[in-house]
Amino acid sequence: MSRQRSMEKILESEYVTIGELVRITNSRYSTLKFYTEEGMLPFEQEEEKLTRRFPREKAIERIEEIKELKRKGYRVDEIKALLKETNL
């Protein structure tokens, strides 16, 4: 069983896991997984089977952005289009 990194360590890291993003952004795992699958969250992955690594600052920024757009009543397809348009 892998030990969780402390919040302090996570917040210093350039890259974080999806589980760590869940903790930082107070989002649901399934939600972030969905955003990832939909191409809304940037990540890096060395090989197919390896853990996806998310650039912490960029990912947090993006998640906050998506949450804000959802609060404003945008649907997922509209949010995707907006994100593509502004190339954030």
- Say what the pLDDT of residue 1 is: 54
- Say what the pLDDT of residue 68 is: 96
Q: Model pTM?
A: 0.86
Classify 7-86 by CATH class: mainly alpha
- Say what the pLDDT of residue 36 is: 94
Helices (H) then strands (E): counts for the chain: 5, 2
Helix (H, G, I), strand (E, B) or coil at 3: coil
Beta strands in 1-88 (DSSP E): 15-16, 54-55
Residue 50 binned pLDDT confidence (cut-offs 50, 70, 90): confident
Report domain extents, the chain.
7-86
User: Region 29-56: what's the mean pLDDT?
Assistant: 92
